[in-house]
Every structure is written in structure tokens, then in C-alpha cells.
Amino acid sequence: MIPVLVFGLPVMAAWVWLRRVPCLRSYERTGAAVLFGVAVPSIVYITWRFSGGSVDAYRTADPVLWLIVLTAGTLAVPRRSGARAAAAFGRGTIGLAIVAGLLCVIYLPVVREHLRATPHGAWDAWAIWNLRARFLAGPGDAWRAAFDDALAWSHTDYPLLLPATVARAGCSIRPRPP
């Protein structure tokens, strides 16, 4: 499965469901959709693994789940009329989108160079977050070893949101070994 689907489907599903919240401006809705689109799938992944679900089954269940949530949100949430939608997307929002886009374009070479220099992240990334993600993405009950007392140096008490996001993406993007 391609990365766009791994992260895009949950974000789109959250964005569609957040249309029900009338007080959100479009940029607030987009930010909340990204937040929910990363956090909720990570929580679903952790719950899946802790309840005994396999990584192989998750590869199939994950996109199906988010397609169902997206479809249900599309059918359940009424669309705004054209005039109301245009009014909600005012000049301030367009200006903010332009500034954000320019900042992303300007910062892209810095991010690319940083990723080239440290593809696995700095010490804390591979010693804490990626280590825990590898356990969460492992077969069977391998995730239990992530909480072993022998790994107390790796902060086993840290939250699992980031490692679950990495594990979810890793098990969905990478093909199974032969």
C-alpha cells in the first residue's frame, strides 16, 4: 500500500467528519484532521496489536476500515452550499495557506538534507521510538518484549503514539519479506 493511502485516508476521513463542527474554520479543520488522522489510527493500531491482531491481517484491515469511515462520513455529512463555502474560505485563510506553502517550499531542502544525514533519526529516535516501533510491528506477541525490564534504559514508560505511527506506516508500506 502506498504512503498516501496510509496517512491520507484517515486524514481525509477525519476532515469529512469534522465538517459537522460548524465553528471550525477551514484551516482549523485541516489541522484537526491531520491531528486526528495520525492519532486515531495509531490508537487503533495499538489496540489491534494488544488484542492479539496480526500485522498481516492489519495490512488488509487498515485501508478497508478508513475507506468505510470515509464513505460513512461522506454520506452522513451534508455539503455546504457554494456561497456558504466561499464565505467560510475568506482572505485570511488564503493568505495563511500561501504563507504555509511558501514556508514548506523554503524548508524542504533543510528537511531533505537532515533526512539524508540521519536517515534513522538521532539517538533518541533509534534508541527509544524506532526500537519500540520495531517491537510493535513484530510478529505475534513480540510487542510485549518492548516493556521488558531489561529495556528500562529506553524509557518504556514513554507514550506509544509516535512508535505506533511508525509501526503502522512500516507494516503498511513495506512489503512482506518472502
How many domains would you assign to the chain? 1
pLDDT at 39: 92
**Phi, psi (5° rounding) for residue 58?**
-65, -35
- Asked whether residue 123 is assigned to any structural domain, the reply reads yes
Q: Provide the angle, in degrees to the nearest 10, between the axes of the packed helices 3-17 and 161-173.
A: 130
Residue ranges of the chain whose pLDDT lies below 70:
1-4, 77-93, 172-178
- Asked whether residue 145 is assigned to any structural domain, the reply reads yes
- Asked whether residue 101 is assigned to any structural domain, the reply reads no
- Asked whether residue 107 is assigned to any structural domain, the reply reads no
pLDDT at 1: 46
- Asked whether residue 103 is assigned to any structural domain, the reply reads no
- Asked whether residue 14 is assigned to any structural domain, the reply reads yes
pLDDT at 36: 93
With a threshold of 0.85, does the pTM exceed it?
no
- Asked whether residue 129 is assigned to any structural domain, the reply reads yes
pLDDT tens column, 40-64: 999 999 899 888 888 888 888 888 8
Cell numbers placing 41: 489510527
Range of the domain at 154: 3-79+118-173
